[in-house]
Structure 1
Amino acid sequence: MSIEPITGRYMTVKIGGTSRRIYFEEAGQGRPVLCLHTAGADTRQWRHLMNDSEVTASNRLIAFDMPWHGKSLPPEGFETQEYLLTTEAYIETVLAVTEELGLERPLLAGCSMGGRIALQLAASHADRFSGFIAIEASDFQPAWYDIDWFHRPDAHGGEMGAALVSANISPYAPNAERWNTLWMFMQSGPGVFRGDLSFYTRDDSLIPRLPTIDTSKTPVHIIVGAYDLTCTPEDAERTAKAIPGATLAVMDELGHFPMSEHPAGFRPYFIEALGRMPSYTAEAA
């Protein structure tokens, strides 16, 4: 029998003045790296890197399920609420988790909507982090589809979401991981993917803030997959150029969910990104 080194626990934080029970997983030791999942998914997207002994030998990877996602339940009375993620609530959640875990200037690695909020945090709260790895991240893309399709009484929102994102997975992705990635979207709670996409496709406030990011204090490295149709390499390049000193890597054979869809292909890019971040000492923890 093989027991993985990943441990999972719960924490309670205040978000919007309300206590929220949040599930998180971690593995490794050393430099803290807070990892954010994509829209409509959860921490399972990071499981391959959290099981990578070379990565975790000197990095403490921490991933948490946003409220309404995975094992983080919605708030009491959710049945009468409409879930619509906002930039303000997202930032508050990430900062609350960072504070509750006692993380002193961790690295922040986020993918898709997690990459977008990483850039928002680089513009507004850079002093709370030591660097940003923004994966499949760009300034803004309006929706080219009707997001209301993902929460209808006559359609299965999880299967609809999986159908949409399937086009964003690289043809080079191993078949097993392609379907594992899609399964997470199939399990998404009613209206959750739609609520995440509301943030992702309707908030363009990041665009004017990009030039204010000071990469001399907190570096920003953007990684994008060549087969990403939502955040294209051109989108990522445009965004990197708007941030003075930001760096960019294009992954030739990967799509929008690289750490999940093709972990072996993503691994060298993530290790390179970690190498671009400030060095870590135990005294800084």
Structure 2
Amino acid sequence: MNGFIEPIVGRYVHVENDGEINRIYFEENGTGIPLVCLHTAGSDNRQWRHLLNDAEFTKHFRIIAFDLPWHGKSNPPDSRYASEYRLTTASYTAIIRAFCRALALEKPVVMGCSIGGRIVLNLAIDHASEFRALIGLEAADFQQPWYDTTWLNRPDVHGGEVCAALVSGLIAPQSPEASRNETLWAYKQGGPGIFKGDLYFYRVDGDLRGRVGRIDVRACPLYLLTGEYDFSCTVEDTMRTAASIPGATAIAMEQLGHFPMSENPAQFRRYIAPVLDDIRDREKV
């Protein structure tokens, strides 16, 4: 509709982490239970705009989606511009916790997709008491790499187009064309070497095999949802992981791939709505 202004508000928060201030961009909408959303590797918080604009969800949740440092509108820390970017389990965990502290969020829910889903598992292992619930989309303790990262930061290759091409097959064939294009557009705009640096966490440093059995869902409920067309984190990967976590909720999502919240928001809503309702119901007990 011409002239329609979305209710999403975008701002910057200064977050101290590892002895340095990070100027982090985030968007939010709604009131109620804080729900922090983590984007996929090489992308940014635009993936969550449909959730942020959902009038029913924002009646009960303060939905917050932020760009990791080096991604989207969050620049690298001032001292790091000349450094190679590499995301690690420790650095990823630290920036999420620092962001939540900077906004003074009281026991937020955290939902992450892909690398965000993997780090949700680490939050459940080491920091469950800080969160109300954790939701991992396309999440597993480990996935065997199927890609060659040497192509992702070369002077003779358009990095953004290669990144988009690499992930394009992970989108379910039922996804609307406009949503598919929007999902890939963010990949075409990523900074040099950022997708490759995120995948360092995903394929090397973030191997959680042998650790997820420590997760206690009585301390913090855990929900794992994976699209049936995701061949990066398969449904089998997620179900294998969930089998090691007594009490974890694991759901296979039909007609969805690796980017459910952006590639087909209406279909994703059918799966995430009951999860958010369950989290609200737990508050009433």
Question: TM-score, with normalisation over the residues of structure 2?
Answer: 0.96
Identify which range, 272-281 or 92-101, moves more after superposition: 272-281
> Does 2:26 align with 1:24?
yes
Measure how far apart 1:78 and its partner are.
Answer: 3.7
Tell me which amino acid in the other structure corresponds to 1:66.
Answer: L
Aligned to 1:169: 171
Residue of 252, 255, 262 corresponding to 1:260: 262
Aligned to 1:277: 279
* Cα displacement string for residues 208-242 of structure 1 (whole angstroms, at most 9, x for unaligned residues): 22111110121111000000010000001001111
Measure how far apart 1:198 and its partner are.
Answer: 0.6
> Does 2:31 align with 1:57?
no
Residue of 109, 118, 121 corresponding to 2:120: 118
Measure how far apart 1:278 and its partner are.
Answer: 5.3
Measure how far apart 1:204 and its partner are.
Answer: 4.6
Aligned to 1:102: 104
Identify which range, 49-58 or 197-206, moves more after superposition: 197-206
Tell me which amino acid in the other structure corresponds to 1:51.
Answer: N
Query: 1:131·1:278 contact (CA, 8 Å) conserved in 2?
Result: no
Question: TM-score, with normalisation over the residues of structure 1?
Answer: 0.96
Query: 1:30·1:280 contact (CA, 8 Å) conserved in 2?
Result: no
Tell me which amino acid in the other structure corresponds to 1:156.
Answer: H
- What secondary structure sits across from 2:78 in the alignment? coil
* Distance (Å, rounded) in 1 between the aligned partners of 2:219 and 2:232: 30
Query: 2:118·2:206 contact (CA, 8 Å) conserved in 1?
Result: no
The number of residue pairs the alignment matches comes to 282
Q: Which runs of 5+ in 2 are unaligned?
A: none
Q: Which runs of 5+ in 1 are unaligned?
A: none
Query: 1:130·1:278 contact (CA, 8 Å) conserved in 2?
Result: no
Residue of 184, 187, 191 corresponding to 1:185: 187
> Does 2:133 align with 1:131?
yes
* Distance (Å, rounded) in 1 between the aligned partners of 2:123 and 2:281: 20
Identify which range, 234-243 or 272-281, moves more after superposition: 272-281
Measure how far apart 1:143 and its partner are.
Answer: 1.8
Tell me which amino acid in the other structure corresponds to 1:8.
Answer: G
Query: 2:31·2:60 contact (CA, 8 Å) conserved in 1?
Result: yes
- What secondary structure sits across from 1:222 in the alignment? strand
Runs of 4+ in structure 1 displaced over 6 angstroms?
A: none
Tell me which amino acid in the other structure corresponds to 2:71.
Answer: H
* Distance (Å, rounded) in 2 between the aligned partners of 1:167 and 1:220: 28
Query: 1:140·1:203 contact (CA, 8 Å) conserved in 2?
Result: no
Query: 1:87·1:199 contact (CA, 8 Å) conserved in 2?
Result: yes
Aligned to 1:207: 209
* Distance (Å, rounded) in 1 between the aligned partners of 2:155 and 2:145: 22
Query: 1:84·1:199 contact (CA, 8 Å) conserved in 2?
Result: yes
* Distance (Å, rounded) in 1 between the aligned partners of 2:32 and 2:21: 29
* Distance (Å, rounded) in 2 between the aligned partners of 1:22 and 1:56: 22
Measure how far apart 1:77 and its partner are.
Answer: 4.4
Are the structure 2 counterparts of residues 96 and 59 from structure 1 closer, same or farther at C-alpha, using a change threshold of 3 Å?
same
Identity of aligned residues (%): 52
Aligned to 2:78: 76
Query: 1:31·1:280 contact (CA, 8 Å) conserved in 2?
Result: no
Tell me which amino acid in the other structure corresponds to 1:186.
Answer: K
Residue of 9, 12, 15 corresponding to 1:10: 12
* Cα displacement string for residues 262-284 of structure 1 (whole angstroms, at most 9, x for unaligned residues): 00000011111112325476xx9
- What secondary structure sits across from 1:139 in the alignment? coil
Tell me which amino acid in the other structure corresponds to 2:126.
Answer: S
- What secondary structure sits across from 1:208 in the alignment? coil
CA RMSD of aligned residues (A): 1.3
- What secondary structure sits across from 2:56 in the alignment? helix
Tell me which amino acid in the other structure corresponds to 2:95.
Answer: T
* Distance (Å, rounded) in 1 between the aligned partners of 2:73 and 2:79: 17
Are the structure 2 counterparts of residues 96 and 280 from structure 1 closer, same or farther at C-alpha, using a change threshold of 3 Å?
farther
Identify which range, 111-120 or 142-151, moves more after superposition: 142-151
Tell me which amino acid in the other structure corresponds to 2:216.
Answer: D
Aligned to 1:34: 36
